[in-house]
Structure 1
Amino acid sequence: MPDPVAALADEGPRAAPASLGELFIAFTLLALQGFGGVIAIAQRELCERRRWLTAKEFVELLGTAQVLPGPNVCNLSLMIGDRFFGWRGAAVALAGMMAAPLVLMLILAWLITLLPHGSTANGLVRGALTGIAAVAAGQIVGTVLRLAAPLKQHPLKLGPCLALVAAAFGMMAWLHWPLVWVLLGLGTATCLLTYAALRRRAA
C-alpha cells in the first residue's frame, strides 16, 4: 500500500539560492519590506519572485513555524535556510532577517529619545505609526486570502478546510482561547482527519 504521507509530496523548490550571500541578502530585503509582519510579503517574495518554494510548501512550512515556540518568521527563516544549506543556511537566514531591522530600530529609538516629550514631531511620529499599522493589517488580510489557494488541493477538500479556518478564528477572536489550546486541540484533530483522508485515498 502506498505511503499516505507521500500523497502530499510536491515537486520541490523550483529554484535555489546560489550561495549563503544570496540567502542573506534575500532575507535582509524581505525583512526591510515587512512592516507589521514579514509573513505578509514572504509568500510573494519566496514563491513567486525567487521561486524557491511552491505555494504548498510555503503553507506547510508556515504551519510548522506557527506550531513551534518563538516568532513565526524566525522559525520560518530557520527552516528555509536549513532546507538549502543546513545549519549554516539556518544561521545566515536568521541573521538576514534580524540584522537590518535591529539596526534600524536602535537608530529610530535613539532619535525618538532626542525629541522633547510632547513635542509636535513626537506626535507626528506616533500618528504615522498608527496610520501605517492600518496598512499592515490590510497586508495580512491579503496574505491570508492568497495562502488559502492551496487549500483547494488539500486532502480534506475546500469545505472542511474553510470550516476549520472558521473554527480557529472563532476560538481566537470571539472565545479568546489561548493559542496553545487552539493548536493542541484543533491542530491535533486536523492532523488526524488529514491522515485518515490520506489513508482512504491511498487505499
Structure 2
Amino acid sequence: METHNIPTRRELFTGFFGIGIIGFGGVLPLVHHMLVLRKGWLTDAEFTELLGLGQILPGPNVVNLSVAVGGRFHGASGALLAFSGLLLAPFCIAMLLVSLYQQYRGLPALQQVLAGLAPVATGLIFGMGLRLAARLERSSWCIALAVATFVAIGLLHWPLLPLLLVMVPLAVTLAWHLQKEPT
C-alpha cells in the first residue's frame, strides 16, 4: 500500500461526511480530490483500482468506493464509518428536499434550476475522467479496449452488463498475460 497518510476512524467518517454535505449527487470528482489530492490517503493508481472495484459491484460507485476505502484502512468498522459518513447528510437533505419539492414542484424557476444541474455534473465527471486518464498506462491494448468500450456504450448503446461481462475478463486476462511477459 503506497499511501502517504493513514486516516483515523474519525477522519474517515468526517472526510466522507464532508463529501456528503458539499457534494450531494455526482460526488466522484470530489471524492477523488479528497482521497488523492488533499488528504493523500490513496495514490491515483489505488483510487483507480478501488473505483474499478466499486464499478463492478452492485450499487452506486461512490458508495462502494467509500466502503472499500474504509475497509482498507480499518476493516469492517472503517467501512461502516465511511459509508455512514457519506450517506448521512444526503439522506437528511433528500428528506428535506422531497418535502420542499412536493410543495414547489410547479414553479418554472425550479424546473430551470434542475435542468441546469445536469451539464454541470457531466462536466465534473468528464474532467475527473480526463485527469485519471492522463495518469493511466498508455499501451495500445488499453487504448483499444477503452475506445471499443466507449463506442459500444456511448455510440452503439449496447447494454452495459453484457458488455462488462465480456470486457472485464478480457482486460484482466490481457493485463495478466502482458504483465508476465519479460521486458
Does residue 31 of structure 1 match 2:20?
yes
- Could you say which residue in structure 1 is the equivalent of 2:182? 201
Q: Does the C-alpha gap of structure 1 residues 33 and 161 become closer, same or farther in structure 2, counting only changes over 3 Å?
A: farther
2:18 maps to amino acid? L
User: Which of the numbers 57, 64, 89 marks the counterpart of 1:75?
Assistant: 64
- Could you say which residue in structure 1 is the equivalent of 2:134? 149
Higher relative contact order (CA 8 A, sep 6+): 1
- Could you say which residue in structure 2 is the equivalent of 1:6? none
- Could you say which residue in structure 2 is the equivalent of 1:5? none
User: Which of the numbers 156, 172, 178 marks the counterpart of 1:175?
Assistant: 156
Question: Are the counterparts in 2 of residues 41 and 143 from structure 1 also a CA contact under 8 Å?
Answer: no
Q: Does the C-alpha gap of structure 1 residues 35 and 103 become closer, same or farther in structure 2, counting only changes over 3 Å?
A: closer
Task: Kindly name which structure, 1 or 2, has the bigger radius of gyration based on alpha carbons.
Answer: 1
Aligned positions, number = 183
Q: Which runs of 5+ in 1 are unaligned?
A: 1-10
2:161 maps to amino acid? V
Question: Are the counterparts in 2 of residues 27 and 93 from structure 1 also a CA contact under 8 Å?
Answer: yes
Q: Does the C-alpha gap of structure 1 residues 102 and 35 become closer, same or farther in structure 2, counting only changes over 3 Å?
A: closer
2:135 maps to amino acid? P
Task: Return the alpha-carbon distance in structure 1 between the equivalents of residues 20 and 48 of structure 2.
Answer: 19
Task: Return the alpha-carbon distance in structure 2 between the equivalents of residues 55 and 36 of structure 1.
Answer: 22
User: Which of the numbers 141, 149, 165 marks the counterpart of 2:146?
Assistant: 165
Give the deviation of 1:184 after TM superposition: 1.2
Task: Return the alpha-carbon distance in structure 1 between the equivalents of residues 30 and 144 of structure 2.
Answer: 25
Q: Which runs of 5+ in 2 are unaligned?
A: none
Q: Does the C-alpha gap of structure 1 residues 60 and 201 become closer, same or farther in structure 2, counting only changes over 3 Å?
A: farther
**TM-score normalised by the chain length of structure 1:** 0.84
Give the deviation of 1:32 after TM superposition: 2.5
1:74 maps to amino acid? V
Question: Are the counterparts in 2 of residues 151 and 158 from structure 1 also a CA contact under 8 Å?
Answer: no
**How far does the alpha carbon of each residue in 1:31-77 deviate from its partner, in whole angstroms, 9 at most, with x for none?**
23335411122111110100000000000111111011111111101
The percentage of aligned residue pairs carrying the same residue is 39
2:62 maps to amino acid? V
Give the deviation of 1:146 after TM superposition: 0.8
Question: Are the counterparts in 2 of residues 36 and 133 from structure 1 also a CA contact under 8 Å?
Answer: no
CA RMSD of aligned residues (A): 1.6
- Secondary structure of 1:148 counterpart: helix
Task: Return the alpha-carbon distance in structure 2 between the equivalents of residues 132 and 69 of structure 1.
Answer: 26
Give the deviation of 1:108 after TM superposition: 1.1
Give the deviation of 1:161 after TM superposition: 1.6
User: Which of the numbers 125, 134, 143 marks the counterpart of 2:110?
Assistant: 125
- Secondary structure of 1:96 counterpart: helix
Question: Are the counterparts in 2 of residues 35 and 136 from structure 1 also a CA contact under 8 Å?
Answer: no
Task: Return the alpha-carbon distance in structure 2 between the equivalents of residues 139 and 187 of structure 1.
Answer: 25
Question: Are the counterparts in 1 of residues 24 and 90 from structure 2 also a CA contact under 8 Å?
Answer: no
Task: Return the alpha-carbon distance in structure 2 between the equivalents of residues 48 and 30 of structure 1.
Answer: 14
Give the deviation of 1:144 after TM superposition: 0.6
